[in-house]
Structure 1
Amino acid sequence: MGTSSAHLTSETRAERERLAGLFGDLAPEQWGAPSLCDGWRVREVVAHMTMPFRTRPIRIVAGLARARFSFNRYADRDARSTTEAMSDAELLDLLRRNIEHPWQPPGGGQAGALSHDVIHGLDVTEPLGLPPAPPERLALVLGSAADRQLKFFGVDLGGRRLVATDADVSVGEGPTVLTMPAKEVLLVITGRRPLTEARKTTR
């Protein structure tokens, strides 16, 4: 049985609220620390997370056109220009005011909205040594879009199946089974952490 949209919406709001609480305690040097997104500091990641709340679809289309329809190029330009225009406190306030925002990525639905916040949350919490999303929330992300994430991030598991030790979820198929926390599974399949560096055990 699939996960209901209402449950995904509740989890999305809970994750935004959790992250807003963590970000509210960051020191200035932490806002300027490198994130897991190449070339982005914590503040650029937070700026990107707020993009759906401050950008109308027509502006996104125009921005994509200027970026020659490369979403990564457009997102990078948007994050950098936003951090120049807004303070860290303003970014945090924007996130807090939009905890219940109904945004869903095109084609991604509510599961995509949850994935967006959980994955980019890890981009901040991992390098800063802060708590990740709860395993059950990570499992929702893994269960809803793992195959799409593997393809999007160009990750090849090479015939391995990654099994979470703290949630009822697995990703991939093959004779080799690797067990690790759900957080590690998500970091691997989104290209944030090489499989060779993931905290795991082979069985």
Structure 2
Amino acid sequence: MDIRGAIADERVELAALLDGLTEQQWKAPSLCEGWRVREVAAHMSFGFRTGRGQVLRELLRARGRLHRMTDRCARRDAAAMSEGELAAALRNNAHHPWTPPVGGLTAALGHDVVHGLDITVALEHERRVPLERVRPLLEGVTPRSLKFFGADLTGVSLHAEDLEWSYGAASGTPVSGAAQDLLLIAFGRALPPGRLRGEAADRFSATTRSRPRGQGGEIRQRP
């Protein structure tokens, strides 16, 4: 798979989607607790707009707490940038080589895909991420990644309905759904009701649980 091409396509498509949002949608809550669509969009382009030195200074201000830093910067940039600027920051950086500190290009794709879903799923938008972009992200799910994002899959097994993929012990209670929704579960998100099937589906609903936070109160599941 051409990961770089998939990243560029995802950013361009998400920028076009952002261009079409209403003012009310920009202010709507996302799947990232405490963040509106504006904050998610601002966070998505932070790595493109910020040099390494500035990132280190921001991290020092946050006393080394990455999640606290990203939260503060997202809120600051969301307030300072217009809707058009937030969309353009994705479009104009479609081929930017930024990657997260760990995970390389696949992690960069995951950053864009998952945060795009944080927006579209929360808004009940009909967009579906192409399965060829979701597959490598699901295949990268590990106990370590689940722990980092605060995803507790104890006693359940996930089964994609539109992709040949499953995760978890065979004895676990089956939870099924679209591949992109299962990806959100693996990244610690709580979904709107009705998107999953199975006896344990409600366990991953936004109405039945809150998302985990770090020791300083910051959200833990933002990639």
Compute the TM-score of the two structures, normalised by the length of structure 2: 0.82
- Quote the offset at 1:198 in angstroms: 5.0
RMSD of aligned residue pairs (Cα, Å): 2.0
Q: Higher helix share goes to which structure?
A: 1
- Give the aligned length: 197
Equivalence map 1:156-167=2 (5 Å): 156-167=152-163
Structure 2 match to 1:25: 20
Structure 2 match to 1:63: 58
Matched letter for residue 33 of structure 2 = D
Structure 1 match to 2:31: 36
Identical-residue share of aligned pairs (%): 43
In the alignment, is the contact (CA less than 8 A) between 1:43 and 1:83 conserved in 2? yes
Change (3 A) 1:196 1:95: closer
- Quote the offset at 1:145 in angstroms: 3.7
**Among candidates 126, 132, 135, match of residue 128 of structure 2:** 132
Matched letter for residue 170 of structure 1 = S
Matched letter for residue 108 of structure 2 = A
- Quote the offset at 1:24 in angstroms: 1.1
Q: What secondary structure does 2:45 align onto?
A: helix
Compute the TM-score of the two structures, normalised by the length of structure 1: 0.89
Q: What secondary structure does 2:121 align onto?
A: helix
Matched letter for residue 154 of structure 2 = G
Q: Which runs of 5+ in 2 are unaligned?
A: 200-223
In the alignment, is the contact (CA less than 8 A) between 2:159 and 2:176 conserved in 1? yes
Residue 154 of structure 2 is aligned to residue 152 of structure 1: no
Q: Which runs of 5+ in 1 are unaligned?
A: none
- Quote the offset at 1:84 in angstroms: 2.1
Q: What secondary structure does 1:163 align onto?
A: strand
Structure 1 match to 2:205: none
**Among candidates 37, 45, 48, match of residue 50 of structure 1:** 45
Per mean C-alpha deviation after superposition, the further-off stretch among 9-18 and 60-69 is 9-18
In the alignment, is the contact (CA less than 8 A) between 2:141 and 2:186 conserved in 1? no
Instruction: State the distance in 2 between where 1:146 and 1:20 align.
Output: 30
- Quote the offset at 1:160 in angstroms: 2.3
Equivalence map 1:76-115=2 (5 Å): 76-115=71-110
- Quote the offset at 1:146 in angstroms: 4.3
Per mean C-alpha deviation after superposition, the further-off stretch among 169-178 and 106-115 is 169-178
Change (3 A) 1:196 1:47: closer
